[in-house]
Structure 1
């Protein structure tokens, strides 16, 4: 039902009603008998009879005495009017022990005892009086019906408010004077008290209109069907504070709230509103009036120990004063307070010099301000002599003028006065009408009740055109609270300010003022309007805000500073979401905003820069002529080509010598040409790949090497045929393999490779490819082979010719010549095969440009192997052993 629990005496309190012996005549004198010995509570208030009476509850006194639960005495409610009690129409000094006084001082935790009598509720009560008198004078509203009022003190606690409510609806009064029961109650101020009252009065259909109970839970029409209010729900101000936290970047917020429905549910709404955002609560501490000193100490310790610089405070302004005072004593500064509507405009806090420094810069949600025409004059005309039954006015007079307006001054320790003193020159919470907020809510509540009654009583308006129609209302004696409740739901009128007023499921549209506590010229604090909330629209003039501290900068309140660009948030296990580590983005990812929760992947052609704040184009990598590796391979290839050319020059110059003639000079020159092409084709692999270069690479490589191996193969066959033709009966072999057949064989073997390359390049040619998966920060430009089958056929055909050549040369290696070319061919083919067999795994495992390097190396190594093994021995004889360059030496006939 509520966050608070009924005390054991509540049932007894509810049953202790004023019983008048009228009908049964139990007492011969016909006097009233009170079973409730706390009847002195009825005297704290004011009343006026009428045809219809409206009840009202206000928290005039806020320090009720602790219930005596020792059960040694009857547990009646004790007076809550601080050190003074009212009996009848007189006031006497309460005898209180020193221990009791010390307990009160300790509870408040103040250096100086501040009285529990509050001046603001006196103004609220006078708003009821003023509104009722204004309505009674209005010929268009409830004509012929006189409204009355019955105002009582609820003492800020539910046992007192419950007793006062039942006293009003049962027309109880200590003097047993005839009084009508109230049909409607305006109040109470506390959400918890309204929850209890609404649930209790709901079966009786007694309507309630609260002016200050803003708990979101009271919006539940199923549970609280008789509850209405002229203040927006706490949902809106909690949302407003969440919006302010988001607007100013406060993600680490502490909360100090009242230990009741008002405070706890406000925190709950704040958390729901910030769910899914990066705002979280650093701590939540509660303040309970009965143990205020202990709770204030805990709350102040939490604020002092926390890194949160923004503190959300939802509590009654008296409790807030104790809390802020404790922070002052602890020298806690530099905190930004977010004030709820109950204390954001409190003149008591603003006038406390102790709080000038710590409370400067407070941002508050305030009940919207509105004027009440004529109310100031009404307050200035207040006199105890004019309202003799108004006990609140008497206490106000004593505190304001320091004298007692009682007729019998012996009942007071203050000097007597006439009660005709004027409040015109008095400045306090009662006479200040410059910022009417709660007071205006009370004023609206009275008018809402009057308009509901006007509708219920079917009142007619004065009509000058029809003299037969007289203004008036039906008899108010037979109206029931249930009927009034139904008509209250349909209230819709225009206020004196021209605004539409209506209830929507018991609520009014959300309108708030936003205020900021700023230091005035004299060092005092004042609240200054800086914005407004209308519905869900938050309007703030940032330039008008004064922040705490001397720098006047927006406070920073975060658990962890926002992660800089290039990093991401990583939630710490077991901590709120606003406490995190900042982890650098991984390679290939970036974050370019502050406070990023994740890193974003760069597009395929881009990579993150060194600080991971942006994506830059990936470095394009390929085997170029300008790098060291490219220069080295180019140099080797050119050197090989030049060496081959030099060998060709030597062979041309000595073409008539026996060694050149004996080794088939035509095939030798063709072999030298093919080797030169082999060296030069490696250059096609160097440089940026293009569609044509990718096709040229494999075609030039495949055809050049087939031409080269074909020449060697034919030379090997020629050697074998030549030696076999020297045997008896084999002379005819040589004519079948003459120069024409040799050239035709080379051409045939080469054409087969040309056909393979043509088919390959026609259907699935090698193409340039951007390889992004080898080195993540680079784009590797390479030539994809296109068809793996085509590439395999090219290599396989070269390997086949080389294997056949190797086998034939191996068989001819021991032929009886002093210079047998077959054995040199065997060595060259052995090197060739070894190079290309090792090439396959090396090529597959090499990344990026290094695979191209492996292929170039294989081309150069095998070319040099062929060149050296086949032509180096011949050049040696031609250049260094010319005496051996004879036919006899070559035939092995040296003797």
Structure 2
């Protein structure tokens, strides 16, 4: 945090003319001290728990003399919930780098809370997906009895529900890590049949349990590590290598902070006399005392800091030689100076930059042009309101902060984790290797890079019951999880196998199931094909007749252009039924429903417009009808048909892009047959297509019914009424028949409905006209048509 603040101050671009300051308090890993420290930082008072600790949990950042604080921390979820609730009325922003409880994402309860670490929902969801991926159906869990452990276990159990994964045991441990808890957990793991163990606890307990297992010579268990201990060097002790090898853990994603390694190496307690941690570390590593430093020449290259720390009394130490002042951290190999994998540290670094950029958004009002455009979201630097700073944090976006884009989504940032593996080196020690990535709900693994606990390249097996061998079947055990079952012999005349096989007539052997679908070669398919082709030929013949007699009164009196378009749409209706016949494929399943829906809507649109034209034409004597006819000419008629059809095209496009029908199969009532079909993934999409067709049909029927008694020798509304009655009757009967038909007959029912309704429209509307045109040409006169 200190490095980030100094880096921002030196940069001068993010906050020009503003110097950030900070205070760091130690919460001593206690809730009361966390609250006291937070209130102290928010109000400006100084307080400390007066206990030694190497962790700095809570910090505040303040712009110059302006007393507006941003808290970086606390580290624990419980402390964060408490502090956020207390400081929420004051609108003090809190950015935690380690609080992972999913509950903290609730903006209604914690509106001032942010974090730079993902919620546990993603971490323990990743463990569930790992179990499913590697087919570990039998798992044990050791859980610390606090908010972190219990909430994490709840998330894990919800994720594995319904996925065939079961927990053999849940061993709860107390937060104080007692020896009794350690022994009890080790005994449980040793006695369990599960070979994959999930440990949700701190690093201290993980190490204690490994040491206890090592004493009992328990090896070959595949441990899954939560982020609280998966990367902790204190656990990776050579004494527990046999037990801990192969650990797979979810870890905070590592990142690089340019210049941080040089910053650490340049630290010197001579230049930072108020830094108790650095002082103790220095004396321990170099074995010398800093009570009377002899040299301050190393301070010259370091910039002055605007930091203020409370003084702490030094503990009594054994006499040590005085430090010479020539000691340096450069070249020192220590975990403190190792910046190869910055995880929690990077979260703190990101939190500081988020606060700085939020402050920058407010201070932008100093620029008159900026203030003019964003006066509602920023304030002058001398009057910064904590609520405004909190609001600015919700909108902050830092592009490419050392490779990452920082933007809060509510309280959270996008969830990303490393998947790590504890591997044995050639020297026999444990090293940390990154083997994959968790990106939100997605899991990416390099399985070839994993070193398993068994020492083998084979994925460990952890199941309650082995898969049943041929000749037996699964029988559930009463009172046991679904993962545990017995394998009992198959009944007489039956054998176990996959769905692709069925027993022969004598029940003596397996034979392949017969693949069944509506094909062109079988009688039913050939008959439907012949009927569809016949309908296409008849429609084409009617089209030719109308084209040849297009100047006659019968053709002209009934809107010749719409009649030709109606014949084209009927031809498409007949042809689309052929797509339903044959072996289902990805494209046939998608095309058949779309072709059916669009063809019939085009047909019904033509009929609807023709009906409206009839209604208007027979009332042409009224002045209002003449005015209406003026605004419903040929261009408007074509536009209406196009509009109605485009609506169906849109419905089909959305349906097929989101959840299209796909090829599938089912074992019907005849077990020897495997019926291939198009699975309707979205019933809603199919219902919308049919519903829109039904809406147009009902509207057309109603209008035609109203115009059926208009006086004329040849009233087309009567023909449309009869055709719509047949159309509606066919499709009303279609619904129950479609639902109740088995196997390939479901497809046959839909084809029959398409053909029946198409023939009904063709015969009812065009047969009387063709009869007059061909057999009664003497009636094909204008005088005869206008006779009342």
TM-score (norm 1): 0.50
2:122 is matched with 236
Q: Aligned runs of 1:375-774 on 2, under 5 Å?
A: 375-407=260-292, 411-415=316-320, 416-417=322-323, 421-458=327-364, 476-587=381-492, 591-592=496-497, 609=508
SS of residue matched to 2:126: helix
SS of residue matched to 2:45: coil
How far is the alpha carbon of 1:381 from its aligned partner? 0.7
How far is the alpha carbon of 1:513 from its aligned partner? 1.2
Q: Distance in 2 between matches of 1:414 and 1:559?
A: 61
How far is the alpha carbon of 1:506 from its aligned partner? 1.2
Q: Is the 8 A contact 1:312 1:338 kept in 2?
A: yes
Q: Residues 84-125 of structure 1, C-alpha deviation per residue, up to 9 Å, x if partnerless?
A: xxxxxxxxxxxxxxxxxxxxxxxxxxxxxxxxxxxxxxxxxx
Q: Distance in 2 between matches of 1:261 and 1:420?
A: 48
Q: Is the 8 A contact 2:118 2:414 kept in 1?
A: yes
The alpha-carbon distance between structure 1 residues 142 and 330, as it changes in their structure 2 partners (threshold 3 A), is same
Q: Distance in 2 between matches of 1:614 and 1:435?
A: 59
Q: Aligned runs of 1:137-148 on 2, under 5 Å?
A: 137-148=10-21
Q: Residues 387-425 of structure 1, C-alpha deviation per residue, up to 9 Å, x if partnerless?
A: 222122122223322333234999532414356621112
How far is the alpha carbon of 1:306 from its aligned partner? 0.8
**1:192 paired to 2:78:** yes
Q: Distance in 2 between matches of 1:147 and 1:556?
A: 55
Q: Residues 843-883 of structure 1, C-alpha deviation per residue, up to 9 Å, x if partnerless?
A: xxxxxxxxxxxxxxxxxxxxxxxxxxxxxxxxxxxxxxxxx
**1:150 paired to 2:23:** yes
Q: Is the 8 A contact 2:193 2:464 kept in 1?
A: yes
Q: Distance in 2 between matches of 1:170 and 1:609?
A: 86
1:275 is matched with 161
**1:217 paired to 2:103:** yes
How far is the alpha carbon of 1:480 from its aligned partner? 3.1
Q: Is the 8 A contact 1:384 1:419 kept in 2?
A: no
Q: Distance in 2 between matches of 1:239 and 1:410?
A: 45
SS of residue matched to 2:390: helix
1:319 is matched with 205
Q: Which runs of 5+ in 2 are unaligned?
A: 49-63, 294-313, 370-377, 515-668, 673-788
Q: Is the 8 A contact 2:146 2:175 kept in 1?
A: no
2:2 is matched with 129
**1:296 paired to 2:182:** yes
Q: Is the 8 A contact 1:494 1:500 kept in 2?
A: yes
Q: Is the 8 A contact 2:362 2:381 kept in 1?
A: no
The alpha-carbon distance between structure 1 residues 149 and 291, as it changes in their structure 2 partners (threshold 3 A), is same
Q: Is the 8 A contact 1:608 1:614 kept in 2?
A: no
1:714 is matched with none
Q: Is the 8 A contact 2:500 2:513 kept in 1?
A: no
The alpha-carbon distance between structure 1 residues 537 and 601, as it changes in their structure 2 partners (threshold 3 A), is closer
The alpha-carbon distance between structure 1 residues 257 and 604, as it changes in their structure 2 partners (threshold 3 A), is closer
Q: Distance in 2 between matches of 1:265 and 1:614?
A: 51
Q: Residues 530-572 of structure 1, C-alpha deviation per residue, up to 9 Å, x if partnerless?
A: 1112222211111111111243432111111122344433322
How far is the alpha carbon of 1:283 from its aligned partner? 1.3
1:854 is matched with none
Count of residue pairs the alignment pairs up: 473
How far is the alpha carbon of 1:311 from its aligned partner? 0.7
The alpha-carbon distance between structure 1 residues 615 and 526, as it changes in their structure 2 partners (threshold 3 A), is same
Q: Residues 429-465 of structure 1, C-alpha deviation per residue, up to 9 Å, x if partnerless?
A: 21000111111111001000111111122266899xx
SS of residue matched to 2:340: coil
The alpha-carbon distance between structure 1 residues 330 and 387, as it changes in their structure 2 partners (threshold 3 A), is same
Q: Distance in 1 between matches of 2:507 and 2:326?
A: 84
Q: Is the 8 A contact 2:177 2:205 kept in 1?
A: no
TM-score (norm 2): 0.56
Q: Residues 267-317 of structure 1, C-alpha deviation per residue, up to 9 Å, x if partnerless?
A: 111111110011011111233332432322222121111111111112221
SS of residue matched to 2:341: coil
Q: Distance in 1 between matches of 2:455 and 2:404?
A: 42
Q: Which runs of 5+ in 1 are unaligned?
A: 1-127, 464-472, 594-599, 618-772, 778-895
SS of residue matched to 2:475: strand
The alpha-carbon distance between structure 1 residues 411 and 366, as it changes in their structure 2 partners (threshold 3 A), is closer
Q: Is the 8 A contact 2:68 2:385 kept in 1?
A: no
Give the root-mean-square deviation of aligned CA atoms: 3.0
The alpha-carbon distance between structure 1 residues 264 and 406, as it changes in their structure 2 partners (threshold 3 A), is farther
Q: Is the 8 A contact 1:252 1:279 kept in 2?
A: yes
